[in-house]
Amino acid sequence: MTQNCRTAYKAMLKLNFQEAQIHLDKEKNVNPDNHAVIYIENYIDFLKAFISEDQTDFAILKKNTDDRITLIADLENTSPWKRIAKAEMLLQLALVKLKWKEYLTSGYLLRKAYKLMEENDHQFQSFAPNLKSMGFFHSVIGAVPENYVWLANLAGMKGTIKQGSEELNKIVSATELDPNLSFMKDECYFIKIFVAMHFEKKHDDALQLLEKMKGNNPSPGPLHIFIEANTLMIAGKNDQSLQVLKSFSPEKNQYPLHYLNYLKGIIKLNQLDLDARTDFNKYISEFKGTGFIKSAIHKNAWISFLRGDTVGYYKNLKLVLKSGADFTDEDKQAKKDAENKELPNLILLRARLYFDGGDYTAALAELANKPPAMFPRLKDQLEFTYRLARIFDKKGLLEKAIVYYTKTYENGQNQTWYFAANSALLNGMLYEQLQKNSDAIMWYKKCLALRNHEYQNSIDQKAEAGLNRLNNK
């Protein structure tokens, strides 16, 4: 990893692919046998294919990955980078294949990548970059939903969130202390923030790391903006998150991350700013892939409904069924709502959006003193108690929250809506927070016992992560 390669690596992480290629071409002229060049070029192809969801980019990645792995395989085994490069190329291809629903070959590549990383870790135990990929793998394996654990075990892949987190802490420290590894610093921050936020549920730790990453990057790229805005949004800091997105102006040659428009629309809508439609329309028109397209159109339907335009609402629902794909949970939910063709309950929708925007007082005001007659459908009754539980949870009224989560679970456990499953999950998190671990474990298991409900994979993953945290303390 010469200076040219390090500079190219940093430019690549900012999605400045043209600038990265200039430095890689310089390295080819100076040192034509340095295979770090093809390792970085493959990373660029991966980012393009993953972000664009374009079939041509996917085909290029598949072909180039095979060719490059063949070249790297000819190298001597004395370099600690050899297996890491091969493993990460396989991991990258597997992640894109997952997006294209090529599950069988993706699983095979993930196992192959994991085994290469394990071999490298055994042979070069003091090689810090091992920790980046192993930490990521172990964290993800630790959060695998219970019904898929056997698959991971069958593939010989084992790990816990705690193990992965500790490994990521070590590589973050190594990149901060060793100038030769500083080119990986932002990438390691990114992975660790993601794990802290989504698997460990340590929001304060994630926010502290975010400040470090910002300090390391006076001119952040699109990926930095994504992790910053997303982390702030999940932490309930919606105003700050929106400001981050509004203040970002991509450089001329940066690869576009259209998802930022979708994210901006979500945050605006959560503040009941109906101008969010501008951002959703921009995402729908400019992004040529399929991810979150159904969801964006679904949010446009909500905006029509909030404006009193039921014709526009149903028009958008028809578009949901014709557009995009249903790979993500958000897109699956959009498709389901479009197929059901039901009008949402206006009170519950407004309460939900206020809640998601972090305005818990306004959310509670929407629900306070509302008579049962305003919620005639079972779905609305379940959502009513669920929304109250969520608000009390965020307001720190934990006993009230547990009462309403429990009520939602008991009344909705035989339904396919997500309210009961997520109530069980959140009860588990509250009991974990109260250090009542046996109760937390009981609720996480109740959550995992519910099948065929909305958001199944993401809710199961969070419940499994909770069990993993408690069983490894």
SS3 (DSSP) at 417: coil
Q: What is the mean pLDDT of residues 57-77?
A: 91
pLDDT score recorded for residue 284: 97
| Residue 470 clears pLDDT 70, i.e. is over it | yes
Does residue 215 sit in the same domain as residue 364? no
SS3 (DSSP) at 213: helix
Q: Which of 225, 233, 293, 231 is nearest to 260 (CA)?
A: 225
pTM of the model: 0.87
pLDDT confidence band for 87 (50 / 70 / 90) = very high
What amino acid occupies position 14? K
Distance CA 402, CA 404 (A): 6
Say if residues 337 and 297 touch (Cβ distance below 8 Å). Answer: no
Q: Does 333 map to a domain?
A: no
Q: Does 457 map to a domain?
A: yes
Does residue 169 sit in the same domain as residue 32? yes
Q: Which domain holds residue 444?
A: 346-473
pLDDT score recorded for residue 472: 56
pLDDT score recorded for residue 146: 58
| Residue 72 clears pLDDT 60, i.e. is over it | yes
* Domain termination site, one of 188, 221, 254: 221
| Residue 154 clears pLDDT 90, i.e. is over it | no
Q: CATH no. for residue 407?
A: 1.25.40.10
* Domain termination site, one of 175, 200, 221: 221
pLDDT digits (tens, 9 = 90+) for 97-135: 988 888 888 888 988 999 999 999 999 989 999 999 899
Does residue 38 sit in the same domain as residue 177? yes
Select the more confidently predicted residue: 41 or 103: 41
Say if residues 343 and 310 touch (Cβ distance below 8 Å). Answer: yes
Burial class (CB in 10 A: 0-12, 13-18, 19+), 267: buried
Q: Does 35 map to a domain?
A: yes
pLDDT score recorded for residue 161: 85
Q: Which of 99, 428, 424, 126 is nearest to 289 (CA)?
A: 99
- CA dihedral over 280, 286, 287, 288, signed as positive or negative: positive
Those residues with Cβ within 8 angstroms of residue 83's Cβ, 6 or more apart along the chain or in another chain: 116, 117, 119, 120, 123
What are the residue ranges of helices labelled H in 143-237?
146-154, 161-177, 185-198, 203-216, 222-234
pLDDT score recorded for residue 28: 95
- CA atoms within 13 A of residue 154's CA, in its CB half-sphere: 7
DSSP annotation of 377 reads: S
| Residue 456 clears pLDDT 90, i.e. is over it | no
Distance CA 441, CA 448 (A): 11
pLDDT digits (tens, 9 = 90+) for 414-445: 999 999 999 999 999 999 999 999 999 999 99
Q: What is the mean pLDDT of residues 140-154?
A: 64
Q: What is the mean pLDDT of residues 450-460?
A: 88
Q: What is the mean pLDDT of residues 22-26?
A: 97
Q: Does 410 map to a domain?
A: yes
What are the residue ranges of helices labelled H in 307-397?
310-322, 329-340, 346-356, 360-367, 378-394
pLDDT score recorded for residue 198: 86
Q: What percent of the chain has pLDDT over 70?
A: 97
Q: Does 313 map to a domain?
A: no
Select the more confidently predicted residue: 333 or 19: 19
Does residue 28 sit in the same domain as residue 171? yes
pLDDT score recorded for residue 329: 84
Q: What is the mean pLDDT of residues 62-89?
A: 91
Does residue 351 sit in the same domain as residue 217? no
| Residue 152 clears pLDDT 70, i.e. is over it | no
What amino acid occupies position 227? I
Does residue 363 sit in the same domain as residue 215? no
Q: Does 36 map to a domain?
A: yes
pLDDT digits (tens, 9 = 90+) for 218-268: 788 999 999 999 999 988 899 999 999 999 998 888 999 999 999 999 999
* Domain termination site, one of 221, 252, 275: 221
Average pLDDT, the chain: 92
3-class SS string, 300-325 = HHHHHHHCCCHHHHHHHHHHHHHCCC
| Residue 155 clears pLDDT 80, i.e. is over it | no
Say if residues 336 and 371 touch (Cβ distance below 8 Å). Answer: no
pLDDT score recorded for residue 318: 96
pLDDT score recorded for residue 43: 96
Q: Does 81 map to a domain?
A: yes
Instruction: Characterize 175-192 residue by residue with b for buried, 16 or more Cβ atoms within 10 angstroms of its Cβ, and e for exposed.
Output: beeeeebebbbbbbbbbb
Q: What angle do CA 8, 13, 16 make, to 5 degrees?
A: 65
Lowest mean pLDDT among 14-18, 70-74, 187-191, 334-338: 70-74
Select the more confidently predicted residue: 363 or 198: 363
pLDDT confidence band for 387 (50 / 70 / 90) = very high
Q: Does 276 map to a domain?
A: no
> How many separate domains does the chain show?
2
Burial class (CB in 10 A: 0-12, 13-18, 19+), 159: buried
- Please name the residue that has the structure tokens 């084992």: 158
DSSP annotation of 236 reads: T
Does residue 10 sit in the same domain as residue 151? yes
